[in-house]
Amino acid sequence: MAVSFGAIIGACNGEQLDIDGEMMPDPGPEVVPEATLTLSQSEITIGGSLYNEGETTLQTNQTVFDAKSSATWAEPVFEGKILKVRAAEANDTGAERTATVTVTAGEGENTATATLTVKQLLRDAASEDAVLELEKTTADFTYENGQTETIIFTTNKQDELFVTIEAGGEEWLSAVIAEDGQSVILTTISENATNMVKKTVVTITAGTGDKAATATINVSQSVNVPTGIQIGALYENGDTKGMIAIIADDQSWIKIISLEESKEAWSTENMATGLLSNNDDGAGNTEIIKALPNYESSYPAAKYCVDLGDGWYWPSRGEWNAVADNTRNQQEVINTYLSAYGGTALDFGSYYWVSNENTAEQGNAIRLKDKGFYKGNKATVRNVRAMKQIMLNN
């Protein structure tokens, strides 16, 4: 359908064209509907125990809501258009009590309000179900004796609280309910002189019988990790963080391995890179791979290492053999250190890709536990971990 030049001019001057090309009047600014709000229930009754709740549904044309309570014990919470009011306190006042929750729908000047009356019954301690909620469910200690952490909880059974420690855990940990009945105090009572992280579970029980509630805390005590320039020690400087795995004879430099690893293919294309099996320069190998045209898409193992940041590279066969020499006689403790640093354990029994190739189709891999040598299809997914050299100021 043709549209005349005059019709176009008219449309540009605030008029609109209908389907037949006729001029239509400008409808003007969009009209925002006036906010509406009603509640499915304007009164609710909740039990007298802590965390008892009731609800009402908002019937409104708005999507933004707010609610304010006249009492601290009545806590309003929205779940979509459902307004729940939860008892933030048990009612031990001796009488039923009432709060008013003012509900608002809309924003700015376009709002509607409604009022919800909330009645809370008296608490019946003998028949109520126990409630127990922990602030956190884990506690991690250093290897030292006398470390303490307090974990806060909320419960409606402050006079019926019990705490137990998993068998064996009581040898190095104590757990005591605080006098206020609102927290548990965890304390290490012996140093961890072993090469293994100690772990136990603390169970808190509120109430008794079939109305009791329980919650658990997973507790660990770390090992005494090495410090300074030692194999297995953590090196951390700015954004660089890794475990020391190789040390120069004159201690002029160290090489660290990344705390994390990945599973990647050596490459996804069959092309000879010239990185011979006896080349020990992992950093140089990585630079050669980075210069290849399809590096970003076709060399995932190298890319994983480089993407860790400045200076990280894919170690060579010789470097990974040196790591094996320095760690294989203390596999368990090395992995304990890595765990203490928040890292991932080394898989001593599996093969790790290294930045050397056997042929255009085959890459090289090393097994840490015995320096076992493997050459296989580059497309196979295997363990990969990065390395970085740190020059030291002597």
Q: Which domains does the chain show, CATH number per domain?
A: 1-31 (no CATH), 37-120 (2.60.40.10), 132-221 (2.60.40.60), 234-391 (3.10.100)
Q: State residue 335's pLDDT score.
A: 92
Q: Which amino acid is at 77?
A: V
Q: Beta-carbon neighbour count of residue 82 at 10 Å? A: 12
Joined together, the tokens standing for residue 182 give 């609102």
Q: State residue 22's pLDDT score.
A: 61
Give the distance from CA 154 to its chain's centroid: 24
CA distance linking residue 240 with residue 323, whole number of Å: 19
Joined together, the tokens standing for residue 29 give 């600014």
Q: Which of 242, 262, 246 is nearest to 254 (CA)?
A: 246
Q: Which of 163, 152, 154, 87 is nearest to 118 (CA)?
A: 87
Spatial contact of 334 and 242, defined as CB atoms under 8 Å apart: no
Q: Which amino acid is at 162?
A: F
Q: Which of 140, 194, 198 is nearest to 172 (CA)?
A: 198
Q: What is the pLDDT along the chain (394 residues), one digit of tens a residue?
A: 344 434 444 444 444 545 555 666 666 666 778 999 999 999 999 999 988 999 999 999 999 999 999 999 999 999 999 999 999 999 999 999 999 999 999 999 999 999 999 999 999 888 889 999 999 999 999 899 999 999 999 998 999 999 999 999 999 999 999 999 999 999 999 999 887 889 999 999 999 999 999 999 999 998 898 999 999 999 999 999 999 999 999 999 999 999 999 999 999 999 999 898 878 999 999 999 999 999 999 999 999 999 999 999 999 999 999 999 999 888 988 998 998 898 999 999 999 999 999 999 999 999 999 999 999 999 999 999 999 999 998 6
Q: State residue 164's pLDDT score.
A: 98
Q: Which of 185, 175, 49 is nearest to 122 (CA)?
A: 49
For residue 143, how many C-alpha atoms fall within 13 Å in the half-sphere facing its CB? Answer: 15
Phi, psi for 300 (deg, rounded to 5): -65, -35
Q: Which amino acid is at 390?
A: I
Which of 276-307 are b and which e, b meaning 16 or more Cβ less than 10 Å from the residue's Cβ? ebebbbbbebbebbeeeeebeebbbbbbbbbe
Pairing assessment for the beta strands 381-384 and 262-265 based on DSSP bridges: antiparallel
Give the distance from CA 167 to its chain's centroid: 29
CA distance linking residue 250 with residue 252, whole number of Å: 5
CA distance linking residue 76 with residue 102, whole number of Å: 10
Joined together, the tokens standing for residue 102 give 């003012």
Task: To the nearest 10°, report the CA torsion of 60, 65, 70, 72.
Answer: 130
CA distance linking residue 238 with residue 178, whole number of Å: 40
Pairing assessment for the beta strands 362-367 and 351-357 based on DSSP bridges: antiparallel
Spatial contact of 323 and 257, defined as CB atoms under 8 Å apart: yes
CA distance linking residue 317 with residue 313, whole number of Å: 13
Q: State residue 251's pLDDT score.
A: 93
Q: State residue 1's pLDDT score.
A: 39
Q: State residue 4's pLDDT score.
A: 41
Q: State residue 6's pLDDT score.
A: 42
CA distance linking residue 142 with residue 271, whole number of Å: 49
